[in-house]
Amino acid sequence: MSSSNRSTPEKAAKKSTSFWNDPDKRALLFQVLLVLGLAAFLLIIINNTLSNLEQRGITTGFDFLSVEAGFGILQSLIPYTEADSYGRTFFVGLLNTLIVSILGIIAATFLGFLLGVGRLSQNWLISRICTIYVEIFRNIPLLLQIFFWYVAVLRPLPSPKQSFEFMGTFLNNRGLYLPEPVAQSGFGLVIFAIIIGFVGAWLMGRWAAKRKDETGQDFPVIWAALGLIVGLPLVVFLLAGAPMTVEYPELKGFNFRGGITIIPELIALWLALTIYTAAFIAEIVRGGILAVPHGQLEASSALGLPRGRTLRFIIIPQAMRVIIPPLTSQYLNLTKNSSLATAIGYPDLVSVFMGTTLNQTGQAIEIIFMTMAVYLTLSILTSMFMNWYNKRSAMIER
């Protein structure tokens, strides 16, 4: 009997079933009612909010973003003065949040991988040191660690006149002062060489991977990439006549002037986020390595591969499939935890925009909405990138 003939009695029976006794139609009805209920709930909340704002004389809208802010910000990656608008304070806070999050993710990833591998080391001392680190820093609240680095470590540093000095770099209780490279005419060629170096390194990596799949022969990609990324710009820099000067910080009056200034609030927040998150990443890395079947290690030992090459070419690539999903969660947590910066006065998005700007303008709904939208966007972009990398690095089973 054909399928069309078998389905005919089922269709006839379904047509004879009443609406309420049909599970598909009943489920559709409940879903429609649920959507209508949620829409009505949201409509009531919005109407109540607008009514309350009108009664209190609070205007709504985003016109306040063009109003002059009138307050200074301790650190800004873009030019900013008190005469700039509230809209510019938003971007200043956003950039400060991004810089501490990116620096924290890079440092925590590097430190976490070292600690995770170190916990599995056959060296008793290294293994115990890594274990103690993880057990200490993952069990102390992050806020306390931020206060520790800021109040107990950085604040007691000497004043600018008694600064610690090392090769033109000064460290005191007002921050870290670094020499600033200043580009001169002709430095554009060096930037162009850097771009060419990165593109060349990427193309070479793809070629080396294809070559290895076809012939099984390794190519020293890392050294060749370093030559392109570092060596090529250096050669161009020298041929162009070294078009760069260095501005060193100098003590003038009560503080240093010139150079690059890294405020102690940024250092404390970066250290706390890095050390705290690295403890969790170390456990993720350890779990990922332990998830690789022990037979893989025994097989590589039987082939005579050194432990370093075994870890690099056999264990870590397989462990990454287990490591990347929880690692993504740690990146998201680090970004969101950066909002604790307001406790020590670091001018991040929450401190500058949702703190000072909200207090001065009273535009609570718009400011909270924009701040939430920023963190939501950052989290989604991070997840999308990590999911793309996870899919790209996944092993292809034949």
Q: Mind listing the domains of the chain with CATH numbers?
A: 54-160+264-397 (1.10.3720.10)
Measured from the Cβ of residue 98, the count of other Cβ atoms closer than 10 Å reads: 17
pLDDT score, position 16: 66
Contact call for residues 283 and 133 (beta carbons, < 8 A): no
Specify the pLDDT at position 113.
93
Within 8 A by CB and 6+ apart from 180, the residues are 246, 247, 258, 259, 260
User: What gap in Å lies between CA 119 and CA 379, rounded to an integer?
Assistant: 30
Q: Is the per-residue pLDDT at 3 higher than 60? A: no
Give residue 112's Cα distance to chain centre: 14
Greatest alpha-carbon span in the chain: 98
The mean pLDDT value for 85-91 works out to: 92
Tell me, what DSSP letter sits at residue 85? B
Show the tokens assigned to 56.
Answer: 């209190």
Q: Looking at residues 64-77, what average pLDDT do you find?
A: 87
Q: How confident is the model at residue 1 (pLDDT cuts 50, 70, 90)?
A: very low
Q: Which residues contact 158 (CB under 8 A, 6 or more apart)?
A: 164, 172, 173
Cβ atoms within 10 Å, residue 335: 22
Parallel/antiparallel/unpaired status of strands 180-183 and 244-247: antiparallel
Average pLDDT, the chain: 87
Whether the per-residue pLDDT at 144 is higher than 60: the answer is yes
pTM: 0.80
C-alpha radius of gyration, the chain, whole number: 29
Tokens standing for residue 202: 């990427």
Whole-angstrom distance, CA of residue 216 vs CA of residue 219: 10
End-to-end C-alpha distance for the chain, whole angstroms: 39
pLDDT score at 148: 94
Q: Of the given ranges (24-38, 132-146, 215-229, 233-247), which has the lowest mean pLDDT?
A: 215-229
Model confidence pLDDT, tens digit, residues 205-260: 888 888 877 887 777 888 888 888 888 889 988 988 888 888 888 888 878 888 88
pLDDT at 4 over 60: no
